[in-house]
A and B are shown apart, each in its own frame.
Chain A
Amino acid sequence: MAPFNLAPLAGTLGYDLVFLLIGVGFGAALEVSGFGDSRKLAAQFYLREMTVLKVMFTAIVVAAVLIFLSSALGLLDFSRVWVNPTYLAPGIVGGLIMGVGFIVGGFCPGTSLVAASTLKLDGVFFVLGVFGGVYAFGETVSSFEPFFQSTFLGRFTVPDWLGLPYGVVVVLLVLMALVMFWGAEIAEAYFGAGKSWKDIPLIPHSRARIAGAGALIVLAILTAVLGQPTVDDRWGWIASEGDRQLGEREIFVDPAEVVDLKKDMTLRVNVLDVRSEADFNRFHLAGARRIDLGDARDPAFVRSLLGAGDNTIVFVMSTGESVATQAWKDLKAQGVLNLYVIAGGINGWLDRYPPSPCVAQKLPGNAGGDSLGWRFVVAVGDRSPSAHPDLARKEYVASCPLAADGNGTAEAPAHDGEHGAAPAYTKRVKLQKKTVTKGGCG
């Protein structure tokens, strides 16, 4: 499914050629629209010619309709499409500065390149200026780094912001663009052609334009009616591969491997614990974060996982494996990378790294599976060496109700928190890089 994973092709001629050809299309589309002519671009700011607005917004709505319609039809996985992360304040200040550069210089970087390629000397000088500006930014950014990194909102779209479905926002965007085009035509007739108000037709009459506008509206409404794929739809796309991975236990990671990965300073290990709050308070892994199963379908939560760096490994765990497996399916379907389940869940973990007998005792028989196989006397949270076997620490127990004398004040029995040498295990974690790491402009 699109977008295609081009990462394995990186460095080959074919890979470079794909981007080269897209660039050729981009440059040609800008040139035939007149974006190589600085006068045409500057005229936008005197309302004489609204070419910039018309071309840009037509391109945005056409692309948006095609993107979200293909997503609705299950042809394009939008979660793997790069969305420029929002840094609100530097974006707005940078935009204002660019507006100034636009009206003074008559281009933006892409259009100046097209102008220079057709031997327009003003375009050549502008490109040289851009090089200078980009260089100056690199030299000075360290002096205002906090501002440059401020107001970060991550992958944040208008539908997220308004709380509306994508399709509805696409319909609204198309309507907004059509109103702007209508205004642009009137502005051109008044400021550009110098017509008087009464000679300007207020009702659009060009059949081609009405047909184009109608087609956009119909496709946008179709996008809204179809709706974006649900989590279950998305699991359906990958179910065969996902079920195979589950069946062959490829994604179930031995606790010892988790411990080893936590020791690796270049990695970020993110443990999501899908259990009740009470169980979580009794015992959980150091650094674990408790979630409900429903959170795995919460867009805001999933977005935070998708925004994590390429060196992040996400582990899901529950008491046994079944709840964690369900959460794994949901998160996997939504495109979370480097996602694994801790084999055996909390029960398996405690069997491997048993806590002090003052804290918990294993229930007799073959208790376990999806119910907790240990009886905790006190809730220790992560204050037990079992919660962080990567750090060797002594157990701290103020009182030991389970101690032999039974009065709860005896000293803790020897439990040095050492869990012996790491047992052998089959390595499961293979770090994957995101298909999309950076925007074209990044």
Chain B
Amino acid sequence: MTSKPPRPYVNPYVGGALLGVVLFLSFYITGNGLGASGAIGHVQVAILGLFAPEHVDRVAYFAEVGGGSRNALDNAGVFMLLGTFLGGMLSGIVNRRFRVETRRGPNVSNRARWVYALLGGAIMGYGARLARGCTSGQALSGGAVLSVGSFAFMFAVFGGGYALAYFVRRLWN
């Protein structure tokens, strides 16, 4: 299995159309779009609840999700999150991309890439909660139903990325 090279990615327009159909089906069936960061918040509160349940009850933002007798994992988004993970894994296995590796720019070490990924993830997680949604939940889902805030958000994400890209070019080039 690992001896054969991975299959190429599909044409981005075809991939985008597939994603668009999934997004439409999600809206059509459930009335809701796609998302990941909200459910990550639920899982995070559930984990926190294992170690410090009183703390979950005390902080309003956590208590809303998993305070008292509420089960933070009892949320449709958590199942979508699980599905996203499984779907990615299935597609990775089928297309021979399921292997341990680190994708990085040519001029950074694996360890540096991991540190930056952790840091970027933390920044992203914080921003996603502030913006009430991630790229998929806000930009993609909100964009498809023409929400004004989602379009403003989308341009802000690209703006932030392009503004900083020059200064971190050594990470990727």
Contact = CB atoms under 8 A, between A and B. Distances in A.
A105 interface: yes
A405 interface: no
Given A22-B83, A24-B83, A31-B97, A97 B126 contact: yes
A138 B152 contact: no
Contact of A109 (B116, B134, B163): B134
Interface of B: 9-10, 12-13, 15-41, 43-45, 47-48, 59-62, 74, 76-77, 79-92, 95, 97-105, 110, 113-165, 168-169, 171-173
Given A29-B87, A100-B160, 12 more contacts: A27-B84, A30-B88, A36-B97, A84-B137, A91-B131, A94-B156, A96-B156, A96-B163, A101-B125, A117-B86, A138-B41, A438-B77
10 contacts: A23-B82, A26-B22, A29-B22, A33-B9, A67-B27, A105-B117, A135-B125, A138-B44, A439-B38, A441-B134
A16 B79 contact: yes
A288 interface: no
A265 to B, nearest CB: 20
Contacts of A170: 146
B129 A138 contact: yes
Given A58-B16, A133-B125, A442-B38, A91 B156 contact: yes
Nearest to A55: B16
A193 interface: no
B39 to A, nearest CB: 8
Interface residues of A, number: 137
A127 B102 CA distance: 14
A18 interface: yes
B83 A139 contact: no
B92 A36 contact: yes
B146 A169 contact: yes
A27 B87 contact: yes
Contacts of B9: 32-34, 37, 40, 51
A84 B121 contact: no
A101 B84 contact: no
A27 B161 contact: no
A252 to B, nearest CB: 29
Nearest to A138: B61
Given A2-B28, A3-B31, A134 B40 contact: yes
Contacts of B29: 2-4, 6, 18, 22
A103 B146 CA distance: 26
A56 B154 CA distance: 10
Nearest to A108: B135
Contact of B26 (A17, A50, A130, A440): A440
Counting from the closest, the 7 A-B pairs by CB-CB distance are: A105-B120, A99-B160, A441-B137, A23-B83, A129-B121, A133-B125, A58-B16
Contact of A22 (B34, B61, B114, B130): B34
A61 to B, nearest CB: 7
Q: Which of B123, B134, B157 has most chain A Cβ within 10 Å?
A: B123
